[in-house]
């Protein structure tokens, strides 16, 4: 009886902890926005490792080391679940993270399955960082659907860093982004009914630029919604979901932390989150702490 009571008390304390979200920079803020939109009763802490961004061109071992440091920080902070909102960190380190911690841990996976299962009958181009593309986890995913569609791997070195530098202000840096996209798309002839899978959370911020550059009826897929739904299933299964808040004046509590200590980084991140929530038609309030 005492053991069961202790377990229930521990579970109650866990329920009140925030969900931790981690990325190498600002890219994962798009994932955080969808988490808030779908799970407004929860609180969140977001850690951006901008001091070491981007991860996509580092060695696998370095990505693993940095991921461990970031997650150790969040665990010490106190979280009940973790979202690795970075495709590169997921590919390189998610298995090690799950082996070390027992809490629910969800990573990012390029949305290849939804693209293959859609009514797209053209080729599927997967844009991703060099590290993601060379990892075994990604190769296994591609091989799984190799016989179902023509899949083209498109490494995009430097693109995450470019987006990290300009933030979500892709409109004011349109020429710079389009020069980059023109170069990487040069060898690919797009047709109507093709698809592009955005295999890096940073790339979501330049969706409109990609669509304008291609100028074809091409569908874009990202893994954000699948990640959110998977986390929802896991925390429900572990019975650590917060009860619905009936107070109409309540706000989602969010703390934005960056390995770069400059105040403007925090302010930029908060602005990007609010802009992302507006695009998702989120009607609630956010309380930054």
Q: Is the pLDDT of residue 10 over 60?
A: no
Same domain flag for 194 and 264:
no
Tell whether 163 and 218 lie within a shared domain. yes
Our answer to whether residue 260 is catalytic in this structure is: no
The tens digit of pLDDT for each residue in 271-281 reads 999 999 999 99
Residue 168 in this model has a pLDDT that exceeds 70: no
Domain boundary pick from 183, 204, 222: 222
Q: Examine the residue annotation and report whether 200 is marked as an active-site residue of this protein.
A: yes
- Whether residues 101 and 117 fall in one domain: no
Note whether 117 and 191 are same-domain residues: yes
Question: How many domains, in total, are found in the chain?
Answer: 2
Tens of pLDDT, residues 179-194: 999 999 998 999 999 9
Same domain, 41 and 122: no
Kindly tell me if the per-residue pLDDT of 1 is higher than 80: no
pLDDT (tens digit per residue) in 211-269: 999 988 999 999 999 999 999 999 988 888 887 765 667 899 999 999 987 777 888 89
Does residue 147 surpass a pLDDT of 60? yes
How do residues 18-52 score in pLDDT, each as one tens digit? 999 999 999 999 999 999 999 999 999 999 999 99
The torsion angle over the Cα atoms of residues 158, 184, 147 and 200, rounded to 10 degrees, is 30
The pLDDT assigned to 127 comes to 97
Give the orientation angle of helix 207-214 with respect to helix 174-184, to 10 degrees: 60
Does the pLDDT of residue 155 top 90, yes or no? yes
- pTM, entire model: 0.90
Q: How confident is the model at residue 8 (pLDDT cuts 50, 70, 90)?
A: very low
The percentage of residues in the chain with a pLDDT greater than 90, rounded to a whole number, is 75
User: Annotated catalytic residue: which of 200, 210, 257, 273?
Assistant: 200
Segments forming the whole domain that contains residue 278: 10-108+225-288
Q: Which of 29, 86, 92, 177 is catalytic?
A: 86
Q: Tell me what pLDDT residue 165 has.
A: 85
Q: What is the CATH number of the domain that holds 275?
A: 3.40.50.1860
- For the record, the structure tokens of 123 come out as 């080729």
Residues 59 and 118 in one domain: no
**Which residues are within 8 A (CB) of 221 and not within 5 positions of it... i.e. 6 or more apart?**
111, 112, 114, 115, 118, 195, 196, 197, 198
How far is Cα 167 from Cα 272, in angstroms, rounded to an integer? 8
d(C-alpha 29, C-alpha 270), whole Å:
9
Q: Are residues 254 and 271 in the same domain?
A: yes
Residue 199 in any domain: the answer is yes
């Amino acid at each position: 009886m005492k053991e069961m009571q202790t377990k229930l008390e521990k579970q109650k304390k866990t329920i009140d902890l925030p969900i931790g979200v981690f990325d190498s920079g600002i890219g994962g803020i798009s994932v955080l926005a969808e988490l808030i939109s779908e799970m407004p009763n929860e609180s969140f802490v977001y850690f951006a490792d901008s001091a070491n961004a981007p991860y996509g061109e580092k060695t696998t071992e370095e990505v693993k080391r940095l991921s461990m440091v970031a997650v150790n920080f969040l665990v010490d902070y106190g979280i009940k679940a973790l979202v690795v909102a970075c495709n590169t960190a997921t590919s390189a380190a998610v298995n090690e993270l799950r082996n070390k911690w027992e809490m629910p841990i969800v990573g990012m996976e390029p949305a290849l399955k939804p693209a293959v299962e859609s009514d797209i009958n053209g080729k599927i181009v997967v844009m991703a960082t060099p590290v993601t593309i060379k990892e075994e986890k990604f190769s296994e995913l591609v091989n799984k659907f190799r016989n179902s569609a023509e899949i083209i791997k498109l490494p995009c070195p430097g693109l995450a860093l470019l987006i990290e530098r300009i933030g979500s202000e892709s409109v004011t840096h349109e020429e710079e982004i389009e020069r980059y996209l023109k170069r990487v798309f040069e060898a690919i002839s797009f047709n109507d009914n093709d698809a592009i899978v955005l295999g890096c959370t940073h790339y979501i911020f330049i969706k409109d630029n990609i669509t304008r550059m291609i100028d074809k009826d091409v569908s874009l897929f990202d893994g954000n919604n699948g990640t959110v739904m998977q986390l929802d299933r896991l925390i429900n299964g572990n019975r650590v979901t917060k009860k619905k808040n009936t107070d109409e004046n309540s706000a989602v509590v969010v703390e934005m932390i960056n390995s770069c200590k400059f105040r403007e980084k925090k302010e930029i991140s908060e602005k990007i989150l609010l802009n992302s929530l507006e695009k998702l038609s989120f009607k609630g309030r956010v309380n930054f702490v």
